[in-house]
Amino acid sequence: MTTDLLEPPAPAVPKEGAPTAPPPGIPGPARRRYLPVRLKFTLTVLASLGWALLSYRLAHRWIGDLSALVGAPLAHLVIFGIAILPGFMNAFLVVGLLLDRRPARARIEHYPGVTVLVAAYNEEESILATLASLDQQDYPAPLEVLVINDGSTDGTLAKLHSVSYPWLKVIDLPRNGGKANALNQGLKQASYPLTITLDGDSYLYRGALRQLVGRFLSDPPHTAAVAGTVLLRNSRLNMVTRMQEWDYFHGIAAIKRLQSLFQGTLVAQGAFSLYRTDVLREVGGWPECVGEDIVLTWAILARGDRVGYCEDAITFTNAPTTFRQFIRQRQRWSRGLIEAFKAHWRLLFARRMSTLFVWWNLLFPYMDVVYTLFFIPGLVLALFGIYWLAGPMTLLVLPMAFAVNYLMFFIQSRMFRAQGLKVRRNPIGFLVYALFYGVVLQPGCVLGYLAELLNLRKHWGTK
């Protein structure tokens, strides 16, 4: 497959409960006929189970050989964790993405007012470009931007005072209290029925606000939040960012798209997402934890509301630039997942399609542990001709993994062309992503799970 990727825009210079109906002032969505979502879900599950059963039959000899060494129960746990379950998930992605058809947007005559919250901590190098990207939006309704300076110790506040936009208000917090606290302070002053969060180092692509709000207005009436698309702004910096470019372009975007199809995106990320302001206030805003965005999203799902995804509302943000920062970020995300389960474990028993993804997330710690403790050592043994854990049978997951990557690339590339974005080559980043990403990522996730289970200290850390 080709290994091209995105070309982010250059920074601009500043110019002179239960499901509820949308609040007043927000029009309902347009409707059209299409293949019922529940039928799509059923077909996707059946096809994925068929692939998993075929994989299990083909793996009998592999399981038998490993059982002779470690016993049948452990052999099954290991093979299911490194081959059968990943194969099921990849098959689910392929079939689901093939069946996905983005609902047509409603014809919107009147857009509601929007409040944008930007929590900023030591963002002096990027905050002006973020504001410039907001100024260049063509949003056709009232807009207010509340930048919460969360006790920055650099020149962030001076940068904010150096510009004057009619829609900008700066909230200066004397001490750093964390992202959740900063956003909640902004929420108290939000004036409009829709609230959008944006990171202080993000750059909105053209039309992002209009696209995001348009998707919300066109989605089912019990939609309470919509995640935007986050792509990398600093992907050309080094190999660490080149590798992550593929994760954002492929994995994260595809999972959100699939979860949205089946009525429950599990993370409306703080970097760029839309929420109904009344729902934010009803659930108490952002919780004080390291994974405030995932815990908030699950609180919205626990009300019975839907969380969507908008693939063509794009912001470019900065990714961690060193392996240490990258691992810290993924540890934080892993801790957030455990926090979400602690707060909203009842979602495991909700009668809705998105419950499958909650169980899917519950399996991640198990699969990450198996990968870290068994598969990585198995790779080392395979180098010496010992194929107990990693050998020819490991190739069972490759056909579906190839199909997933090709399909995600095809879908994303088509969306990019429609947005006027340039696709560029990143073959080395793809090779590192394909061959080594899990070796770095999954042990880091395991450390994150342990940190949360052991209740170690929490802080903003790497976003």
Residue 388 or residue 350, greater confidence: 350
Mean pLDDT over 70-95 rounds to: 91
Q: Which amino acid is at 78?
A: V
Query: Looking at the predicted structure, is the pLDDT value of residue 423 above 70?
Result: no
Confidence of residue 439 (pLDDT cuts 50, 70, 90): confident
Confidence of residue 378 (pLDDT cuts 50, 70, 90): confident
- Among 168-177, 345-354, 395-404, the least confident range: 395-404
Residue 16 or residue 280, greater confidence: 280
- Among 235-249, 319-333, 382-396, the least confident range: 382-396
Q: Looking at residue 133, what is its pLDDT?
A: 96
Q: Looking at residue 405, what is its pLDDT?
A: 75
Question: Which neighbouring-strand residues pair with 5?
Answer: 424
Block residue for tokens 């909105």: 204
Query: Looking at the predicted structure, is the pLDDT value of residue 25 above 70?
Result: no
- Among 106-110, 250-254, 323-327, 441-445, the least confident range: 250-254
Confidence of residue 452 (pLDDT cuts 50, 70, 90): confident
Closest C-alpha among 20, 97, 44 to residue 309: 97
DSSP β-ladder status, 306-317 and 203-204 = antiparallel
Q: In this structure, which topology does domain 114-348 adopt according to CATH?
A: Spore Coat Polysaccharide Biosynthesis Protein SpsA; Chain A (3.90.550)
pTM of the model: 0.87
Share of the chain above pLDDT 70, in %: 88
Q: Looking at residue 29, what is its pLDDT?
A: 47
Residue 246 or residue 135, greater confidence: 135
- Among 313-322, 344-353, 424-433, the least confident range: 424-433
Query: Looking at the predicted structure, is the pLDDT value of residue 396 above 70?
Result: no
Share of the chain above pLDDT 90, in %: 57
Query: Looking at the predicted structure, is the pLDDT value of residue 115 above 90?
Result: yes
Cα 72 to Cα 217: distance, rounded to the nearest angstrom: 52
Domain boundaries, the chain: 37-101+353-436, 114-348
- Among 204-208, 213-217, 360-364, 427-431, the least confident range: 427-431
Residue 23 or residue 182, greater confidence: 182
Confidence of residue 254 (pLDDT cuts 50, 70, 90): confident
Confidence of residue 30 (pLDDT cuts 50, 70, 90): very low
Confidence of residue 403 (pLDDT cuts 50, 70, 90): confident
Q: Looking at residue 453, what is its pLDDT?
A: 86
Mean pLDDT over 213-238 rounds to: 92
Task: Kindly list the distances between the CA atom of residue 19 and the CA atoms of 125, 220, 304, 332, in Å, as whole numbers in the listed order.
Answer: 41, 11, 5, 30
Confidence of residue 12 (pLDDT cuts 50, 70, 90): very low
Return mean pLDDT, the chain: 86
Query: Looking at the predicted structure, is the pLDDT value of residue 375 above 70?
Result: yes
